[in-house]
């Protein structure tokens, strides 16, 4: 009986991981039919499932190497392949080989980002991600698609859409630190304010998702880049994996 309960505990987080992958697959299908809003919303739903599976695994103490690899494969489908295909059909289907290369480059950088994360998963003990996480890159991609619903002239700006894709692809494979907030002292000391802020963001997302999703990811990226550029000494050597000791942040 105890063994059955343990097996069920392992099954639950992997179910959410599978649901994440399913959302990416469904988004691709909707992209083929030109239903880009639904495609983008399924990618958003996949991100929600992705945030849940890891938390459940930690709560039930069912983290495993299998779960980590399965999660990465799911992320590659939902946040690498899926947004690249949706973006291609929305903006670059008539851009020829340049459009194909740009979308493939985004997917490739997403795969490299996940591979690097897995390779260093036991070493990374900081409060920062090495490069923009792939769900963040996917969110940035669908953000421009959301904006194009209200500003359809974006569709004709091929140079802008290609550069935008390359920019976020490059951020994923960069070594720029992006805050994870998992061990943030400020968050721990201001739980009530953080909760109210999250609640406000969720309410605005529910009402104005086509505007708020681009605003949130853009603010996160710009704020992270500004903080990195103004605190270069603080982050020097933060991702130097040759040193096994944890880097202290002061």
For the stretch 121-166, pLDDT in tens is 777 666 889 999 999 999 999 999 999 999 999 999 999 999 999 9
Tell me which of 1.10.238, 1.20.58, 1.20.120, 1.10.3470 is the CATH number of domain 8-230. Answer: 1.20.120
b/e per residue, 50-87, with b = 16+ CB within 10 A?
A: bebbbebbeeeebeeeebeebbbebbbbbbbbbbbbbb
Rg (CA), the chain: 19
Backbone angles phi, psi at 130, to 5 degrees: -85, 100
pTM: 0.87
Q: Name the β-bridge partners of 177.
A: 130
Q: How does pLDDT run across 155-209, given as a tens digit for each residue? A: 999 999 999 999 999 999 999 999 887 666 666 666 677 778 778 877 877 788 8
Residue with tokens 């500004």: 226
**Residue-range domain boundaries for the chain:** 8-230
Q: Which two tokens stand for residue 56?
A: 């459940």
């Amino acid at each position: 009986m105890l063994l059955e309960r343990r097996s069920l505990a392992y099954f639950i987080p992997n179910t959410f991981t599978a649901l994440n992958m399913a959302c990416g697959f469904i988004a691709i299908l909707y992209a083929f039919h030109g239903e880009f809003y639904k495609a983008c919303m399924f990618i958003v739903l996949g991100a929600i499932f992705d945030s849940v599976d890891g938390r459940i695994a930690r709560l039930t103490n069912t983290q495993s190497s299998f779960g980590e690899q399965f999660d990465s494969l799911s992320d590659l489908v939902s946040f690498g392949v899926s947004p690249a295909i949706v973006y291609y059909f929305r903006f670059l289907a008539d851009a020829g080989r340049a459009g194909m290369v740009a979308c493939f480059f985004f997917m490739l950088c997403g795969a490299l980002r996940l591979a690097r994360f897995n390779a260093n998963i036991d070493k990374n003990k900081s409060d920062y991600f090495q490069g923009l996480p792939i769900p963040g890159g996917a969110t940035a991609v669908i953000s421009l698609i959301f904006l194009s619903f209200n500003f359809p002239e974006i569709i004709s700006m091929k140079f802008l859409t290609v550069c935008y894709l390359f920019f976020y692809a490059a951020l994923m494979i960069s070594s720029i630190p992006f805050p994870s907030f998992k061990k943030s002292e400020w968050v721990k000391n201001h739980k009530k304010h953080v909760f109210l802020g999250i609640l406000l963001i969720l309410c605005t997302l529910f009402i104005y998702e086509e505007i708020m999703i681009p605003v949130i990811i853009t603010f996160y990226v710009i704020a992270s880049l500004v903080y990195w550029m103004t605190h270069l000494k603080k982050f020097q050597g933060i991702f130097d994996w040759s040193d096994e000791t944890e880097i202290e942040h002061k």
